[in-house]
Structure 1
Amino acid sequence: MTGLNKWLRLLIVFLVCFTIVSYSWFLLGGAKKEYTVTPKNSTYSIIDDSSQSGATTTTLNISNRNVLLECNLVNKAKWPFCEIAVALTDAIDIGFDLSSYDSVGLDIDYTSPLEGERIRIYLRNFDPTYSNTDDPLSLKFNAIEYTPGSNQGLQIFPLSSFQVLSWWIAENNIPVNKSSRQFDNISIIEIATGSYVKESYYAIKLNRLVFYGTWITESSLVKLLLLLWVVTATIVILIDRFVLSQKIKTSEERSQRLRDANRVLYNKSLKFEHLACTDSLTRIRNRHTVIEWLEGIVLQTQLNKIPFSMIFIDLDHFKEVNDRYGHSFGDEVLIKFAATVEGLTRCSDVFVRWGGEEFVIFCPETNMSVAVEIAEQIRETIMTKAWGFDQEFSLTCSLGVAELVDESCEDLIKRADFALLKAKKMGRNRIEISWEHQQLK
């Protein structure tokens, strides 16, 4: 943890405290939530066997403390029953999402002629893939049956204990992926008499109906806290690396100053005095004046690991030009050729007449690919140029290109000369490249 500044240490202390407080809050029940169904937030109604031509009579009394359903079941309908229907919303297709709750608490007193008789609890879910607003039976039956007895108080059941009724799945032809329990859109809760009843008096008193859940699960809280720790650790690593990089940067300043000094010397070595050391005919540098410079620039290039290339140029069939038009005309061609090529070179390039009709371009800070581009521009310009002589005249040149590797300037020149010789043997008016460590044959 070395190198951490004060604010980052405070951040870690805060995160530790936040983790302790958050998990303690969860363990003490701070994340728990409840949803109690009351006459203020829902609507109560009666459903009985009258829709099946039954003769059951029912009454419903709603007070602030409880809801009481009394019914006299008559064995006229095929399945006599009565139930309390609790509508959580005004629309059957817009329900209440109970998927974040994990259990339900029921406080029901049940009066029936049979001891230990069960009642049925239905959580009815609407889903447009299988439900129809015109058919209440199309809402999914998430059901449990249990014996409430009388004065048993609040009994809590996990929502995972509810099961979808098999007859409803078969009757509505529900696919397998929709046949499991579902609580994301509960619009109606039904509390009904048992499956097997007889003609008698029944009473269902609903004292309390409440759903229990948590705002955040324990696993989600742990994941969130873990994420906060990971983010903090990442910040610590990044800051530590930044501090280390600053130290490295400081330690490299001395060597950088030395490299800058070498660079200054290197750039100064590129400056020539153009009024001296020039070829008397073409007015460009001659071979003898660049030898000492070339040795120094090659050494500086290798020390600073800077690319350095050269282009060897030879005029094609120049002897025939002299033989056909005379040496005076040949000199004019050399002058115009040198002026043309010099116009194509860059400020940093060094253009030299090597001897006769041979020329060399030294290209500091230039790799092979750029040097080839320069050579191709020269070759195409010379081939297509209108030279302006009285007689029809055309000229081409061959070029050899080499890039400096771990070698002397003499070896570099030999490789470029070898590439030029190859270009001439291959038909002239072309460029050949001498690659690193190429055999000279």
Structure 2
Amino acid sequence: MTEHSSNKSTLLPAISRTEALLGMIACVSIILIFAPKDWIQRSLEIYPQDYEAVLTDDTYSNGNSEAIWLDADKQIWQCRMGNKFRSPYCSMRLSLFDDSWSGLNLSDYDTMTIWASYSGPSDSLRFYLRNRHPDYYQVGDDTSTKYNMVEIPVEQLDTGFTLSMADFNVADWWLVTKKIPLEKSHPEFNDVVFLEVQTGSQATFGDHTIRLRKVLWHGHLFSDETLYKGMVIAWCVLIFFLLLYRMIHLKLELRRNVKHQQELVAINKLLNLQNKQFEDLAKTDQLTGLLNRIGIRDVLYDGLNNWKERRTPFSFVLIDIDHFKQVNDSFGHDVGDQILKLTAKLLAENIRRSDFLARWGGEEFILVCPDTDLYQAQVLAELLRKKLEDAPLHPERQITASFGVSALSTPNLDDLFKRADAALYEAKTQGRNKVCAVADTDAD
């Protein structure tokens, strides 16, 4: 039983450290996306009794309302609202400055909860978060602070009323009075220096008793946008370093494999040198060193299969040295052999790495061009024709060649050869030293 369990465990794929790391980060990402919002949050709580408070009323505007302290220690105050002023009001203002003369930065908070006590004839109270900013604040003028305002019903204040910071808007009268441009008329909470509680906009005459007990702000440590951006950046950085690591690892592995292959080649040379020579001779033309018909066979087979499976373009060029019999007759076979070698060398040096060149027999060569269409093969053939025409292969005679080009359009190599041969014949008919191509009419 023990042996069976051991054998079974060896069949299970091992989990690499990289896979374990990716799995762990993926789990963390999922947790962050679906985790409840209140898991990661910040909060700020203030008690009004800890801050300096000042009462104001509409007597400043020639009204007859009066704000008085009923209990200054507990900050219980009363507004005795008169009827002389058109829009009567009373308010209590808390100064939120710290030791460095800065206000509260509430920009990162989403909600505000207010606990207060109220008795009187009004249905609502106004709350101001007065922000200070160099764009509009003037030193010595407290009214130049931006009046971010919200008005809330008094019936829920005793148990705590929660509102969104997005519910605030800037008081219209302040925007008009201070002539604030439109682009700066939105609420701001980056430097709130005053918190003000004021009687409601529809307050009626009589006594209004108010006590602000506590204020609490809640906010997430980061927004959904920041969270998702951070996750995307983290994944991009991780993938980059993983790819970099993989590239370095593969490069080192390749070096080790090359060294191992070199060792194997050295051993093969010692043990099987003669067989290797016979194999090379079987696939290589002895005179030119190019592939022969056997050597080019596998390339043709692969090209045909690739065309069948993926319609990968596959082209074929027949090359025939012009008037080669006259060269042999005039200068001898040794010179003819030398011309064949030089022609093979020139052609091999000017084809692409992906191409395969072979000696087909006599003065005829074959160029196989994988992943190449008919037009591209024609361009390559013309380049080779021009190179050969300009090359000084013989001091007394210009060496040229005719080229016949075709491309595979049906799964039939015999048809490919026939069309290339027909194109070669057409090149010779036109006076030789030409490139001609025959397209398959069915392909069109």
Structure 2 residue 117 is matched with structure 1 residue 108: yes
Residue 431 of structure 1 and its aligned partner are, at CA, apart by: 1.8
Higher share of residues assigned helix: 2
Residue 105 of structure 1 and its aligned partner are, at CA, apart by: 2.5
Change (3 A) 1:303 1:171: closer
| Greater C-alpha Rg | 1
| Equivalent in the alignment of 2:161 | 156
Residue 341 of structure 1 and its aligned partner are, at CA, apart by: 1.0
Q: Give the alignment partner of residue 412 of structure 2, picking from 407, 410, 418.
A: 407
Residue 142 of structure 1 and its aligned partner are, at CA, apart by: 0.6
2:42 & 2:404 partners in 1: Cα distance? 83
Change (3 A) 1:208 1:30: farther
| Equivalent in the alignment of 1:38 | 48
Q: How does 1:417-428 map to 2 (within 5 A)?
A: 417-428=421-432
Q: CA RMSD in A?
A: 5.8
1:194 & 1:296 partners in 2: Cα distance? 96
1:168 & 1:397 partners in 2: Cα distance? 92
> How does the TM-score come out when normalised to structure 1?
0.55
| Equivalent in the alignment of 1:279 | none
Structure 2 residue ranges without an equivalent (≥5): 1-11, 236-277, 308-313, 350-355
2:137 counterpart SS class: coil
Q: Give the alignment partner of residue 341 of structure 1, picking from 343, 351, 359.
A: 343
| Equivalent in the alignment of 1:383 | 389
Amino acid at match of 1:419: A
Structure 1 residue ranges without an equivalent (≥5): 232-266, 276-282
Query: 8 Å contact 1:69–1:83 — kept in the other structure?
Result: no
Amino acid at match of 2:213: R
Structure 2 residue 211 is matched with structure 1 residue 206: yes
2:282 counterpart SS class: coil
1:103 & 1:36 partners in 2: Cα distance? 11
Identity of aligned residues (%): 18
Residue 86 of structure 1 and its aligned partner are, at CA, apart by: 0.6
Query: 8 Å contact 2:118–2:154 — kept in the other structure?
Result: no
User: Residue by residue, what CA displacement relative to the aligned partner does 1:316-361 show, whole Å, maximum 9, x if unpaired?
Assistant: 6x78x67xxx94347676344212112235596432444xxxx221
Q: How does 1:23-422 map to 2 (within 5 A)?
A: 35-40=45-50, 42-48=51-57, 62-63=72-73, 66-69=74-77, 82-90=90-98, 94-97=103-106, 100-108=109-117, 116=121, 120-126=125-131, 128=133, 131-134=136-139, 135-138=141-144, 139-144=146-151, 153-154=158-159, 156=161, 158=163, 164-173=170-179, 186-192=192-198, 206=211, 208-211=213-216, 213=218, 215=220, 271-272=282-283, 293=294, 300=301, 305=306, 309-315=316-322, 327-329=329-331, 334-346=336-348, 349-354=357-362, 359-363=363-367, 366=370, 368=372, 375-376=381-382, 378-387=384-393, 389=395, 393-402=397-406, 406-407=411-412, 409=414, 411-422=415-426
1:215 & 1:367 partners in 2: Cα distance? 57
Aligned residues: 353
| Equivalent in the alignment of 1:260 | none
Change (3 A) 1:367 1:35: closer
Query: 8 Å contact 1:144–1:163 — kept in the other structure?
Result: no
User: Residue by residue, what CA displacement relative to the aligned partner does 1:273-302 show, whole Å, maximum 9, x if unpaired?
Assistant: 766xxxxxxx669xxxx78x5997688557
Change (3 A) 1:270 1:61: farther
1:364 & 1:132 partners in 2: Cα distance? 80
| Equivalent in the alignment of 1:238 | none
1:84 counterpart SS class: strand
